[in-house]
C-alpha cells in the first residue's frame, strides 16, 4: 500500500512538472525567428494563403491566447499541432517513430548493464585469474575514455570498419534492408514486429541493422555504469556479511547472487540517468544510421524550423524521463526493502 501511495504522489507531482515543461518550451520556441505558417505553406504560397494558414493554426491570436489554446489541445486531445516538415500531426509522427527509438536505447542500456555486471563479477570475484587481472584495468580505462569521443564519430568509424572495409554488416539505411517489405506494424519497432510476425528475413535484417547503432550508444554511454558496477561490487564483496557467509561454506554461486543484488541500488539509479542520456544521444546516432526514430525526427525538425515538432519532441523527452525516474524509484523499493519513501 505504501508503494501505491508513493506512486500516486509522484504522479501528482509530475503534473506541475509537465506543465512547467510545456510552458517553458512554448515560450522559448516562440522566441525563435521564423513563421510556421510560411513554412507549412511553402516558398511559393501567396500572402492570402499564408494568412489563411495562420488563422487556421491560431497564430493570428494574441500570444497569451495561443498559449492557452496550446495547453487545452495538449491536455484534452494530445494535440501538439501540425508538422511543417511532414505535414502530419506531431502527435502522430511521435507515436509512429518512438518505438524505433525505444527499441534502440533499451537494447543499448540492457547490453551495458549485462556486460558491466559480467565484468564487475569476474574482475572482483576472481581478481587473481588471468581474465580478472586483464578486465579490471581495461574497465577502468574504458570508464575514463568512453564519454570523451563523440557518438557520431564512433558511429562513422564503425560504419567504415564493418560496412566499407569488412563488409559483414549492412549499410546504415534504416531498420531493415530496403529490399524487404516492412512487417505488419504491431509495436512500431520493425525488429520486434518481425519477431511477433515470425518473419525470418525481417528478424535477421533487423538484428544486423541494430548492431552498429546499439554498439555505438553502448560504447559512448556505458563508461559511468561500468565504473559504478566495479566500485559497488568491490565494496560489497569485501563486506562482513559476505565474509561470514564464505566462512560458513556457502557456494560461490549463492555468494555472487547475494553480492550482485546488494550492488544493484546505485547501478539502478545511475541506469535511470543514463537512460535519459541515451534518448538524447540517439539524436545524432539515429541521424548517422538513418534510423527513422524520434532522434532523427528531432534533427529534421530543428533543421527545418518545425516549431510544433520541436515542442513535441521536448515534451516527449521530459515525459519519458519522468516515467523512467518513477519506475526506477519503485524498482529500488523491490531491490532494497530498507528504503523508505
The answer as to whether 74 is a domain residue is no
Radius of gyration for the alpha carbons in the chain, expressed in angstroms and rounded: 24
Q: Does 201 fall in a domain?
A: yes
Task: Provide the pLDDT for residue 76.
Answer: 83
Task: Report the number of distinct structural domains present in the chain.
Answer: 1
* Sequence-distant (≥ 6) Cβ neighbours of residue 51 within 8 angstroms: 37, 60
pLDDT reported for residue 335: 66
Tell me what pLDDT residue 340 has: 62
How many whole angstroms separate alpha carbon 301 and alpha carbon 93?
A: 11
Residue 326 maps to a domain: yes
**CA–CA–CA angle 214, 154, 320 (5° rounding):** 45
Which distant-in-sequence residues (6+ apart) come within 8 Å of 306 by Cβ?
36, 39, 83, 84, 85, 300
Residue 23 placed within a domain: no
Q: Is residue 305 situated within a structural domain? A: yes
Q: Write the CATH number for 183.
A: 1.10.3720.10
Specify the pLDDT at position 270.
87
Cell readout for 288 is 548517422
Residue 70, C-alpha cell as written in the block: 496550446
In-domain check, residue 37: no
Q: Say what the pLDDT of residue 158 is.
A: 93
**Of 96, 90, 100, nearest to 312 (Cα)?**
90
Residues 206 and 177: their CA atoms lie apart, in Å, by 8
Residue 181 DSSP symbol: P
CB 327 within 8 A of CB 320: no
Q: Nearest-5° angle of CA 44, CA 46, CA 47?
A: 135
Determine the pLDDT at residue 108.
Answer: 93
- Mean pLDDT in each 10-residue stretch from start to end of the chain (341 residues)? 72 84 84 75 79 80 85 84 84 92 93 88 84 81 79 91 91 87 86 90 93 92 86 86 84 86 85 87 90 90 84 89 83 68 59
Within-domain flag for 89: no
Q: Rounded distance, CA 190 to CA 182, Å? A: 7
- Rounded to whole angstroms, how far apart are CA atoms 313 and 279? 11
Calculate the CA dihedral of residues 122, 127, 131, 135 and round it to 10 degrees. Answer: 70
Structural domain includes residue 252: yes
Question: Cell triple for residue 325?
Answer: 525516474
Range of the domain at 264: 97-335
Amino acid at each position: 500500500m505504501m508503494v501505491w501511495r508513493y506512486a500516486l504522489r509522484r504522479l501528482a507531482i509530475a503534473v506541475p512538472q509537465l506543465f512547467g515543461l510545456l510552458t517553458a518550451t512554448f515560450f522559448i520556441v516562440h522566441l525563435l525567428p521564423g513563421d510556421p505558417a510560411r513554412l507549412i505553406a511553402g516558398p511559393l504560397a501567396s500572402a492570402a494563403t499564408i494568412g489563411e494558414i495562420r488563422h487556421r493554426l491560431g497564430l493570428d491570436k494574441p500570444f497569451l491566447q495561443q498559449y492557452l489554446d496550446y495547453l487545452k489541445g495538449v491536455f484534452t486531445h494530445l494535440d501538439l499541432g501540425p508538422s511543417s516538415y511532414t505535414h502530419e500531426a506531431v502527435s502522430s509522427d511521435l507515436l509512429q517513430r518512438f518505438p524505433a527509438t525505444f527499441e534502440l536505447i533499451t537494447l543499448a542500456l540492457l547490453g551495458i548493464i549485462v556486460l558491466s555486471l559480467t565484468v564487475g563479477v569476474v574482475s572482483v570475484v576472481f581478481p587473481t585469474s588471468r581474465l580478472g587481472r586483464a578486465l579490471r584495468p581495461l574497465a577502468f580505462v574504458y570508464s575514463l575514455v568512453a564519454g570523451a569521443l563523440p557518438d557520431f564519430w564512433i558511429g562513422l568509424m564503425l560504419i567504415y570498419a564493418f560496412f566499407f572495409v569488412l563488409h559483414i554488416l549492412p549499410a546504415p539505411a534504416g531498420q531493415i534492408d530496403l529490399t524487404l517489405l516492412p512487417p505488419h506494424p504491431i509495436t512500431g519497432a520493425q525488429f520486434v514486429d518481425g519477431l511477433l510476425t515470425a518473419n525470418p528475413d525481417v528478424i535477421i535484417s533487423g538484428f544486423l541493422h541494430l548492431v552498429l547503432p546499439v554498439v555505438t550508444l553502448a560504447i559512448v554511454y556505458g563508461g559511468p555504469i561500468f565504473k559504478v558496477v566495479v566500485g559497488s561490487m568491490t565494496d560489497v564483496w569485501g563486506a562482513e556479511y559476505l565474509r561470514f557467509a564464505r566462512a560458513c561454506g556457502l557456494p560461490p554461486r549463492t555468494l555472487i547472487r547475494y553480492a550482485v543484488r546488494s550492488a544493484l541500488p546505485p547501478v539502478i539509479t545511475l541506469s535511470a540517468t543514463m537512460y535519459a542520456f541515451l534518448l538524447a544521444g540517439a539524436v545524432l546516432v539515429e541521424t548517422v544510421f538513418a534510423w527513422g526514430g524520434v532522434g532523427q525526427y528531432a534533427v529534421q525538425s530543428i533543421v527545418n524550423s518545425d516549431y510544433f515538432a520541436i515542442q513535441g519532441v521536448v515534451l516527449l523527452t521530459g515525459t519519458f524521463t519522468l516515467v523512467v525516474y518513477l519506475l526506477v524509484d519503485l524498482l529500488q523499493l523491490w531491490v532494497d526493502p530498507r528504503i523508505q519513501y
